[in-house]
Amino acid sequence: MNDTPASISDKIRQQFDFGPYPRVPIDKSPKEDANLLFIHNLVTPYYLQNQKVINTEGKTILDAGCGTGYKSLVLAEANPGATIVGVDLSAESVNLAKARLQHHGFENAQFHVVSIEDLPSLGMEFDYINCDEVLYLFPNPADGLSALKSVLKPKGIIRSNLHSAWQRASYFRAQNVFQVMGLFDNNPEELEITLVQDIMKALKPGVDLKTRTWNPAMEKEDAQESILMNFLFQGDRGFKVPEMFAAMREAGLEFVSMVNWRHWDIFSLFADPDDLPVFLALSLPEASPEEQLTLFELLHPVHRLLDFWCTLPSQEDAFPIADWDVEDWQKAQVHLHPQLRTPKAQAAFIESLQEQKPLDLTTLLKAPASSSYFVNSSVLSLLLMLIDGPQPFQTLVEHWLLIHPKSLIGLEPMTTDEAAAELMKLLSRMEVFLYVLIEVH
Ligand SMILES: C[S@@+](CC[C@H](N)C(=O)[O-])C[C@H]1O[C@@H](n2cnc3c(N)ncnc32)[C@H](O)[C@@H]1O
């Protein structure tokens, strides 16, 4: 069969009509998964891009290539008051997604059997587009991004991802093996899955491909999805960081951030980031995000996905809080990240305060931090205030003065300026992890 665009989408449709993805049970709820909600909450990328806290009420969110709708459900849970629209090539998948959102009581959701290429036919525009585990199936990912861009609102944000060529190299080799054996000639189904299991099982331990790709769990009956998505995935391809940037550029989009950006920090790869060889100490901080991420991946290709947020080129210059002066801070409004404004977090803050124990915030929200993040009672008392809603920086300074009337060194009375200076430092450190969001009002 010739791989024309129509035949490629036929293959993909057939593949996902046979094996709708993901096979997450309909009653599973992501409500308690703060990390998953954190990355699917429009507040997170919108703040990274604009340093403003967006209200999700009334926003329109697209799940492009929604599959069976588990991520659509996550989007609905993470963005209260937003309308969720899901599209997919596969009618089977769309039916399952519809049923899933209905099951969880979301009325403000709609699903359509529409391809990403045909999105304009919906006649809608979106504040946020999630296109997860789909883009690498496009012969040219820039075409996929351009199609998404055509239905994006001016300040809208796209989240998408590509498979990493480096991290997934062994699976691409395995796919090649089964192509050579003819298992991709028709849509791979039960027979081909069993053949993969038999062939991989039959290989001696120590054969390189088996060591790198196989584990005993894949010999079980419920491993179908994993085998289809790794060994028999039609159209699956790998990309490198420069190709991800090239696709954004070709589509006229601008990089915002990696989705798990704390885990792509080039400095974290060095034993002592404060004592780098001089050549690197001078050049690395000056390198562009594209250069830093490219180097990170060459040194340490551990991420299966090149998972990124992008947006339309913006006219506005960023004004990071590192560049703020006291007057900017005096006009600031401080928010707790919505994924920390939960009854569970409130109970944890109160318990730690009552027990006089520091609290590791990563036990509540791990996604943005790469290691533990402890806060003491004074900070917890501030966070508790923020559970009720955002507070002006000045109000937090007054609160800080009440709990710290004297300087802890020398016990001199604390001045308002000293309290403000302490809080600026403390909040800036927490803002790096988006535990608090700080906007100029
Ligand atoms: C690997 S699944 C990912 C599903 C879902 N996004 C998730 O991450 O759970 C890929 C989905 O994208 C759909 N898809 C692939 N190409 C598409 C296209 N051009 N337009 C619409 N859907 C597409 C497939 O039918 C399939 O359901």
The domain locations on the chain are: 5-165+237-260+303-311, 169-230, 321-440
CA triple 181-183-189, angle to 5 deg: 160
Ligand 1 pocket, residue 97 CB under 6 Å: no
Q: Whose CA is nearest to atom 13 of ligand 1?
A: 65
* CA of residue 287 to ligand 1 center, whole Å: 35
* CA of residue 137 to ligand 1 center, whole Å: 8
Which secondary-structure segment (H or E) carries 258?
A: strand 254-258
Tokens 């062939």, located at residue = 199
Nearest in space to 233 (alpha carbons), one of 296, 183, 267: 183
Residue 255, judged by CB atoms within 10 A of its CB (0-12, 13-18, 19+), counts as middle
Ligand 1 pocket, residue 264 CB under 6 Å: no
Query: Would you state the pLDDT for residue 314?
Result: 83
Closest atom, ligand 1, to C-alpha of 116:
20
- By the 8 A CB rule, do 424 and 436 touch? no
Q: Whose CA is nearest to atom 10 of ligand 1?
A: 134
Distances (CA, A) of 313 to 53, 156, 221, 241, 286: 19, 11, 48, 19, 22
Ligand 1 pocket, residue 256 CB under 6 Å: no
Ligand 1 pocket, residue 132 CB under 6 Å: yes
Q: Whose CA is nearest to atom 27 of ligand 1?
A: 67
* CA of residue 115 to ligand 1 center, whole Å: 9
Query: Would you state the pLDDT for residue 279?
Result: 95
* CA of residue 88 to ligand 1 center, whole Å: 6
Q: Whose CA is nearest to atom 23 of ligand 1?
A: 65
Ligand 1 pocket, residue 116 CB under 6 Å: yes
Q: Whose CA is nearest to atom 20 of ligand 1?
A: 115
* CA of residue 34 to ligand 1 center, whole Å: 24
* CA of residue 122 to ligand 1 center, whole Å: 17
Query: Would you state the pLDDT for residue 1?
Result: 41
Of 89, 92, 94, 118, the residue with max ligand 1 atoms within 8 A of its CB, to mutate for a pocket test, comes to 89
Distance between CA atoms of 407 and 412, rounded to whole angstroms?
5
Residue 309, judged by CB atoms within 10 A of its CB (0-12, 13-18, 19+), counts as buried
* CA of residue 65 to ligand 1 center, whole Å: 3
* CA of residue 272 to ligand 1 center, whole Å: 42
* CA of residue 68 to ligand 1 center, whole Å: 9
Q: Rounded to an integer, what is the distance from CA 99 to the centroid of its chain?
A: 25
CATH architecture of 5-165+237-260+303-311: 3-Layer(aba) Sandwich (3.40)
Ligand 1 pocket, residue 133 CB under 6 Å: yes
The mean pLDDT values, 10 residues at a time, for the chain of 441 residues are 71 92 96 96 96 97 98 98 98 97 97 98 98 97 98 97 98 98 94 96 97 94 92 96 98 97 95 95 96 98 98 83 91 96 97 96 89 94 96 96 85 90 95 95 71
Task: For the chain, give the number of residues.
Answer: 441
Query: Would you state the pLDDT for residue 285?
Result: 94
* CA of residue 147 to ligand 1 center, whole Å: 14
